[in-house]
Structure formats: structure tokens, C-alpha cells
Amino acid sequence: MKEHAEASPYRVVDARFVAGAVETEGLLAPTLVEVAFAGRSNVGKSSLLNSLMQRHGLARTSRTPGCTRQLNVFEVRCADGLATHFVDLPGYGWAQRSKAERGQWQGMIEGYLRRRASLRAVAVLFDVRRGLEDEEQQLLEFLRGRREVSEPKPLEVILVATKTDKLGSSERTLALKGIAKDAGAPVVGFSAVTGEGWEALWKRIRGAVL
């Protein structure tokens, strides 16, 4: 466990797997507000979740893209009483997937993002070395449409550049600045290896769910 996390008021006191579903209809009725984590396959969604929740191996990770094939819901509780659901979404853009499977993914994810009333924020993850590509732009466009119909609070979209440990510090700073400028929005740099961005991301999440 990371020292910074141990000392933080955001310290996670309980994190558990609640349920998995292959379609939105299979999900339990929401009992807590939710934050979903989306991004292409292999970008590091499940690793980031384990890091945020301070639990190794709770969300399954793999070097092989396409590891997470269903919506996985986790319940997280912090020392100060904050409770939320985190939803690990299957990754998109997995080249080996058939067209039918891609269509299925899109239907499932879009259905979830469109209809889930308890959804307060979506973290859109992308590799810091790639930035925002077509798929991310499409997802952001879709979320902008969804934002407008959210009540009572607009849906928060949190841009997260993952695997920042793969770049040297000056390259990393430049890349993050460039992406934020292009996106016209702040970007959280995150590394599941070093823990960089842990507190910054929790802050954004708490701002959306509280």
C-alpha cells in the first residue's frame, strides 16, 4: 500500500466486488452513486481501480487486451464515510474482436451510460503516450449529449492519462500539458505503478459524488 494513501483522509477502509453483469438490465438497482471507468482495452482501467481502492487484484488485470468482458461493480468506503460504486467497464478498440462483438460492446456501454440514473461521473482513460484519439473523441461527444440530460447535477467527465511512469518527467509534463490544451479541460496524470495522481483523481471523484 502506498504511504500517501495511508496518510490521506480519503483512505479506503472497505472495498469489495459487488456484482458483474453482461448487460445493463442485469445490474442490481443502484443503492449508491456510481463512477464509471471507460477507455480502450489495455489502457489500465482495472489497474487504476485497484490502485484507487488500495486493493491488489480486486479487479482482474491482464497483459492481454480484452480482459474485462462485463460491467464489474465495486463498492468503496472511505475513512470519512464516503461510499460509492465504481464500475469497471470492458475496454473498447480491441482489434481482434469481431464486428458483432464490437456492436454488442457499444450497445451495452452506451445503454449503461445513457440510462444509469445513479451515474455521477465517467473517468475517460487513455494512454499518456497516445493522448485522445478518435475513439476517445467519440466517447466524449456521446458523454456531452448525456451531460445535458443529467439531473440534478451534470455528469462529470474526468480525463485521465494513464501509465505516466512510462515517460520521463519532462516528457510527461509536456504530454499532459498538450493533451489538456487540445481537450480544453484538465487532465489527471495517473500511474498505477508509482501512485502518481492518486490524490488528484480521488479529489475529482469526490467533487462529483458528494
Ligand X SMILES: Nc1nc2c(ncn2[C@@H]2O[C@H](COP(=O)(O)OP(=O)(O)OP(=O)(O)O)[C@@H](O)[C@H]2O)c(=O)[nH]1
Strand locations in 92-171 (E): 119-127, 156-162
d(C-alpha 108, C-alpha 95), whole Å: 18
For residue 41, the partner it binds in Mg ion, ligand X, none, with Cβ less than 5 to 8 A by kind, is: ligand X
Least separation in angstroms between residue 41's CB and Mg ion is 8
Pick the binder of ligand X from 12, 67, 82, 176 (CB under 6 A): 67
Least separation in angstroms between residue 66's CB and ligand X is 5
Residue type, 147: R
Pick the binder of Mg ion from 42, 46, 162, 191 (CB under 5 A): 46
d(C-alpha 94, C-alpha 74), whole Å: 24
Burial class (CB in 10 A: 0-12, 13-18, 19+), 11: middle
Which residues have CB under 8 Å from 81's CB, separation 6+?
Answer: none
Binding of residue 71 to Mg ion (CB under 5 A): no
Pick the binder of ligand X from 54, 72, 84, 162 (CB under 6 A): 162
Nearer to ligand X, 61 or 82 (CB): 61
With CA atoms as reference, report the closest residue to 106 among 74, 138, 144.
Answer: 138
φ, ψ of residue 91 in degrees (nearest 5):
-75, 155
Least separation in angstroms between residue 133's CB and ligand X is 15
Binding of residue 20 to ligand X (CB under 6 A): no
Binding of residue 84 to ligand X (CB under 6 A): no
Structural contact between residues 145 and 174, judged by C-beta atoms closer than 8 angstroms? no
For residue 63, the partner it binds in Mg ion, ligand X, none, with Cβ less than 5 to 8 A by kind, is: ligand X
C-alpha grid cell for residue 114? 445513457
Binding of residue 68 to Mg ion (CB under 5 A): yes
Structural contact between residues 10 and 2, judged by C-beta atoms closer than 8 angstroms? no
Binding of residue 63 to ligand X (CB under 6 A): yes
d(C-alpha 118, C-alpha 188), whole Å: 23
Pick the binder of ligand X from 84, 86, 91, 172 (CB under 6 A): 91
Nearer to Mg ion, 41 or 164 (CB): 41
Binding site for Mg ion (CB under 5 A): 45-46, 67-68
Binding site for ligand X (CB under 6 A): 39, 41-47, 61-63, 65-68, 90-91, 162-163, 165-166, 191-193
